[in-house]
Amino acid sequence: MTMKSIPLQRAYLLLVALAVFVGCWLAPVDAPAREQINEGLKRALTTFAAARALGAVVSVAQGTQVDATPGGVGVGVGVSFAPGQALKPLNELIEQFAAIMLAASVSFGIQLVLLNIGAHQLMSGLVCGVALAWGIARWRRGTSPRWLQSALIGLLLVRFAVPLCAVANEGVYRAFMANDYQAALSGIEKSPTAVIDATQEAPSAQEGWRERVERWLPKLPNLKATYDQILKSASEWAERIVKLIALFVLQTIVLPLVFLLVAWRLARAAIRGPTFSQATARVS
């Protein structure tokens, strides 16, 4: 290291130390990150509930057994055939969809736990202490032990990676995914009501969707109309389900991994620092 590069090296160390201190104590990003993760968790749980409601309607229709009698069609009396088995693939898709939404909810919950760990005062103090040791070593000798660099990079990721990734993830969602999510979720939420309303009289104001399903099939004069209605809507449901799965996989797996990789590269580059001696040589 040349004499000309020493002031630049020390100025860089002071800048890094200031950025770490400000990020840990004066302007933490934890509060907005916690809000963004909670929003994602609410979306995942809402979608999971919508999937379960849709699955309940399809499951009841699939499990209905029909007895064909000379006088007409009777439900649950002397089983002759089960036309609802045609809905089995759709029901399996909805079950897998619900499982993925539950996994997405768990992912957001894990992010909250990691955020709380990183935002703890002890973690902030540890990050600042290791950063101080690293800065002193670099200040005195121009370099620091490799283990100290690795420890600081790891602590920086624990402290800052989750909140920064959460904020960036939510920004991408609001910019590119929010409209698609709302449209797909609205269609999924309305599907059980639309199917039931197409084949029965209007329900009472106090009646929930479970009660509506329970009295829906036994009173149907024509089961074929019900299955036709469900099968007609199946392609639309599948499209919305796939779209929602893609959105949540992006939000809970792909984007977090991408942002984590970017954060790791930035932390490693910041701790290793620029080569001031080479830059000074070029200028000279």
Find the distance separating the first CA and the last CA of the chain, reported in whole Å: 14
Query: Residue 149's pLDDT is what?
Result: 93
User: Which of the given ranges, 192-201, 216-225, 236-245, has the highest pLDDT on average?
Assistant: 236-245
The answer on pLDDT for 62 being more than 80 is no
Distances 223 to 81, 82, 172, 199, 202 between C-alpha atoms, Å: 12, 11, 45, 9, 18
Q: Count the domains in the chain.
A: 1
Report the range of poorest mean pLDDT among 36-40, 166-170, 272-276.
Answer: 272-276
The answer on pLDDT for 238 being more than 50 is yes
Residue 210, token pair as written in the block: 């479970």
Query: Residue 276's pLDDT is what?
Result: 53
The answer on pLDDT for 48 being more than 70 is yes
> What's the pLDDT tens digit per position in 122-154?
999 999 999 999 999 988 887 889 999 999 999
Output the CA angle 56-248-186, nearest 5 degrees. 50
Query: Residue 213's pLDDT is what?
Result: 53
Residue 229 structural domain: 5-283
Residue 219, token pair as written in the block: 């009173």
Percent of the chain surpassing pLDDT 90: 51
> What's the pLDDT tens digit per position in 72-119?
444 444 444 455 566 788 888 999 999 999 999 999 999 999 999 999
Query: Residue 182's pLDDT is what?
Result: 93
Query: Residue 237's pLDDT is what?
Result: 84
The answer on pLDDT for 281 being more than 50 is no
**What is the rounded distance in angstroms from the CA atom of residue 162 to the CA atom of residue 112?**
9
Place of tokens 């004066």: 26
Query: Residue 72's pLDDT is what?
Result: 45
Percent of the chain surpassing pLDDT 70: 71
Q: Is the dihedral of CA 110, 113, 116, 120 positive or negative?
A: negative
**pTM of this structure:** 0.77
